[in-house]
Amino acid sequence: MSSTSLPAEGAPPSTIRAVVLLLVAALLVRGLLYAALTPPWQAPDEPRHFEYLRLLADQRRLISIEDAALPLQRQILDSMLAHEYFKYLGRPTPSIPPPSFQALWGPQATLLHRAPLYYVALAPVAWATGSWPLVDQLLLLRVLDVGLLVLTGLVVYAAARTLFPDRPSIALGALAFAAFLPQLAQIGGSLNSDNLVNLLGALFFLGILRSARPELRLRWFLFACVVLLVGLTAKRGLLVLGALLPLALILAPLHQRASGGWLVALAPVALLAAAGVWLLRPGSAAGTLVQRYLTDAGYENLLQLLGPARRTPEALALYQLALDTLFKSFWGMFGWMAIRLGDTAYLVLLVATGVAALGTLVVLARGLAGRNDLAGWQASELVLAWVAVALVTASALGYSALYLRADVLPQGRYLYLALAPAAILFATGAEQVLRPVLGPRYLVVYVLALAGGDLLAITTTMLPAFHG
């Protein structure tokens, strides 16, 4: 490998592995760097995640809202005040700490109603370090979350290689996208259940891709189903990806359907569905858990979204604000979304995103027209990637539409549920646009641009805001 290019098609596997290791190492170092640079409690919801985890470790059982403990909340609030929580929000520091989470955050004071998988996974560490100072516990837990970030990056790469097995440049581009995405590194270097959810979302999409290329592969379809079911014990938002399951079956090759192979393939799926219905029956432990974490007020929420109050000029202005916030915080709005990149940076990112999206659509259109080497199953899976991104984006915007308040806006981290398809689409579009101009060396330009953007985010935004 020369000093001026990264491996392209035809490169030795050892060279590709070396670059993968370098990008994974970059992701690991960046996650740890963001974990160290972000002051304690200056990542979204960290105090509330810590409360949940600390209570779970201390009580050694599943937690509910009724388990909220004011002494623990006051310890956390004292630590937040000691580490200038309000300063970084641009708010005056109260002379006396708020007496409770409720006093500080109102209706959003707790996460104790959340699904428990993430907290159960970390509970042994929280139990073992219970005597440590709060900030030391928090920093160790952040480091563990960086491990989830690295695993997610590896799954993103695996998904891209699945879709483009003969195009390692696209897979490396997708991994680089994840490796140098500033906001992803800050969330990945914080205590946040979204880090497990992002990993499960990437695993689910990997299973979907491997289940339908170029014929239906039952074991991977079942793998995706199991990941989705497990994911619902981490965050109910994963359910939105479930729409990809029937779509993957619909887009499977016609010869597979005609051969009757689907009848054999779907029989175990039907058995799995029947087992799921029995496990989730009303009154069962699993059924009660689903009712608690998945279906609360769902019908009432739907009625709200369809109501006339969601179609007024004021509502449309809030939707525009929500979309703007969603985009900007996908790339970089640090702390509790109070520390922003410059307007020029967001404009450049908007143009880059638009160009990459257009490039991907060109690849797909040419593939469907038979004007490039994109196979039919690859075109179908690119469609699945677009659908996944659209579903997760619509879900995030629907969250804003449900509350319809300027202080309750969707955050870009919600879109990391579809990180794998988003990274693949961005890398595919970048290759389509840059390779004709730069040739095989386009990949080094692409990676350096992403790395340079991340370095600028750290040096011109994070460091001055948190340590200036």
Q: At what angle do helices 46-59 and 117-128 cross, to 10 degrees?
A: 70
pLDDT of residue 257: 43
Q: What is the DSSP string of 337-385?
A: TTEE--HHHHHHHHHHHHHHHHHHHHHHHHHHTT-SS--HHHHHHHHHH
Cβ(32)–Cβ(99) below 8 Å: no
pLDDT of residue 216: 62
What CA–CA distances, in Å, run from 56 to 41, 50, 76, 111, 289? Answer: 19, 10, 16, 12, 16
Phi first, then psi: give them for residue 305, nearest 5 degrees: -65, -30
Q: Stretch 77-86: mean pLDDT, rounded? A: 94
pLDDT at 134 over 80: yes
CA distance 159 to 40: 34
* Rg of the chain taking only CA atoms, in angstroms: 23
Cβ(440)–Cβ(363) below 8 Å: no
pLDDT of residue 11: 75
Cβ(122)–Cβ(148) below 8 Å: no
- Using one digit for the tens of pLDDT, what is the confidence trace for 279-299? 656 666 555 555 554 454 444
- Using one digit for the tens of pLDDT, what is the confidence trace for 242-274? 989 888 877 765 434 434 444 444 555 555 566
pLDDT of residue 1: 39
pLDDT of residue 299: 43
Cβ(359)–Cβ(386) below 8 Å: no
pLDDT at 179 over 50: yes
Tokens of 61: 């059982």
Q: Stretch 373-387: mean pLDDT, rounded? A: 89
Per-domain residue ranges of the chain: 13-37+132-467, 44-131
Q: Stretch 161-177: mean pLDDT, rounded? A: 95
pLDDT at 309 over 80: no
Percent of the chain with pLDDT over 90: 64
Q: What is the DSSP string of 118-185?
A: HHHHHHHHHHHTTTS-HHHHHHHHHHHHHHHHHHHHHHHHHHHHHH-TT-HHHHHHHHHHHHT-HHHH
Q: Stretch 302-328: mean pLDDT, rounded? A: 75
How many H-runs (helices) and E-runs (strands) does the chain carry?
Answer: 22, 2
> 3-state secondary structure string, 380-418?
HHHHHHHHHHHHHHHHHHHHHHHHCECCECCCHHHHHHH
**Confidence band for 367, pLDDT divided at 50, 70 and 90:** confident
pLDDT of residue 258: 39
Tokens of 210: 């491997």
- Angle at CA 197, nearest 5°, toward 133 and 61? 55
Model pTM score: 0.88
Burial 369-391 (b: 16+ CB within 10 A, else e): eeebebeebbbbbbebbbbbbeb
pLDDT at 5 over 80: no
Residue type, 332: G
Q: Stretch 334-349: mean pLDDT, rounded? A: 95
pLDDT of residue 266: 53
Q: Stretch 378-404: mean pLDDT, rounded? A: 87
Cβ(400)–Cβ(378) below 8 Å: no
- Using one digit for the tens of pLDDT, what is the confidence trace for 140-160? 999 999 999 999 999 999 999
As a whole number, the mean pLDDT across the chain is 86
